[in-house]
Amino acid sequence: MKSLITTIGIGIGLSISLAADELPTKEALKKAAEEAHAKFKDEKEGKNADYIPALAKVPSELFGIAIVTADGEVIEVGDVDYSFSMQSCSKVFTMCMVMEESGAEAIFEKINVEPTGMPFNSIKAIEHGDGRADNPLVNAGAIATVSMIKADSPEQRWKKISDYYNLLAGEELKVLEDVYVSEAETNFRNRGIANVLFNSGNLFCDPLEATDVYTRQCSVGVTTAQLAMMASPLANDGVHPVSKKTFLKEDEVPKVLSIMTMAGFYDGAGQWAWKTGLPAKTGVGGGIFAIVPGKMVIVAFSPPVDQYGNSVRAQKAIQYIADKFEYNIFDED
């Protein structure tokens, strides 16, 4: 990419420059999204996550793509009206909420920002480290993040998260109760993680409360466009391109993007950086959102996931669009 004027620091002293050329037209983005949808809609690789029983029942052929640009344009292609559970995509938004409430350093000090090198639901990662959760995008870190929200009760804790999500989406979002019940009945490992963190002094509310609120946030339903709206401030220096509300300080955005780059794709983060080169976060419900800093958020949704828990069709669709416009942040050519 040429004409380099915007610099994003993404951790460990690395600076990545992005092209300052104009945004593609809405028509060009729509065409690219339609091409990606047509190219990958018949992809058969992967299968629905089934360790949460409700997710196994979601129609596997669903496939939607949405883009929200930094100037507020919205592009939608495919099954964009289906409401799917955010799952781990939610972790980024609660982290942003805590950073705004307590400052970015609170995340660094109380959770840490290192990739684990272990599965996203690992207990060993806590025990082999210093008792903290390593980063906010693994389950332990997300549960710890929920516990950091300033609240006097579980109800207040959940209301603050829910209200924040609604503001980001620009409309009221609903918990998918069947997903919540399914997760709550099977989240024994997350309860164990919360207790290990609490025992080491690195959980900041009751363990069962933190686990339940975390489970509820993962069960919030979003469409592809709603998820793109929620993530859009991360592509626009912390300012929502539609509502114009500031959700994150400008100097905190690179910190969020750095964590997404290193830990947003579970154990597939290295492959994603190699192939696509965009900060991104996935959820086992089939959603992925990727940030093109200063330009747009690209979201894709399809339930079948790979061995790491990342949607197969969504990865390929986002990679196709990113390649078409040369949006790999590591490529300065």
* Number of other residues whose CB lies within 10 A of the CB of residue 274: 10
Confidence at residue 19, expressed as pLDDT on a 0 to 100 scale:
42
Kindly report, residue by residue over 45-92, the tens digit of the pLDDT: 999 999 899 999 999 999 999 999 999 999 999 999 999 999 999 999
Q: Give the C-alpha separation, 179 to 144, whole Å.
A: 22
Looking at the DSSP assignment, which residues form a beta bridge with residue 253? none
- Given a contact cutoff of 8 angstroms between Cβ atoms, the answer to whether 99 and 237 are in contact is no
Sorted by where each begins, the domain ranges of the chain are: 1-82+223-333, 87-220
- Per-residue confidence (pLDDT) for residue 332, from 0 to 100: 65
Give the model's pLDDT for residue 97.
97
Decide the pairing of beta strands 221-222 and 280-282. unpaired
Per-residue model confidence (pLDDT) at position 21: 65
Q: Which amino acid is at 30?
A: K
- List, for the chain, all residue ranges whose pLDDT scores fall below the cut of 50: 1-20
226: tokens are 């709603």
Query: Residue 113: which of 293, 260, 259, 301 has the closest Cα?
Result: 259
Contacts with 48 (C-beta within 8 Å, 6 or more apart), sequence order: 55, 56, 57, 58, 60, 286, 303, 304, 305
87-220 classified as CATH 3.40.109.10: no
What pLDDT sits at residue 129?
A: 81
What pLDDT was estimated at residue 118?
81
pTM: 0.92
- Cα-based angle 237, 10, 240 (whole degrees, multiple of 5): 15
pLDDT score, position 47: 97
Feature table: binding site: 88, 139, 183, 190, 214, 266, 284
Binding positions for substrate: 88, 139, 183, 190, 214, 266, 284
Instruction: Supply the pLDDT for residue 257.
Output: 97
- 237-252 in b/e form (b: 16+ CB < 10 A) is bbbbbbeeeebbeeeb
Q: Which fold has domain 1-82+223-333?
A: Beta-lactamase (3.40.710)
What are the beta bridge partners of residue 229? none
What's the confidence (pLDDT) of residue 333? 58
Separation of first and last alpha carbons in the chain: 5
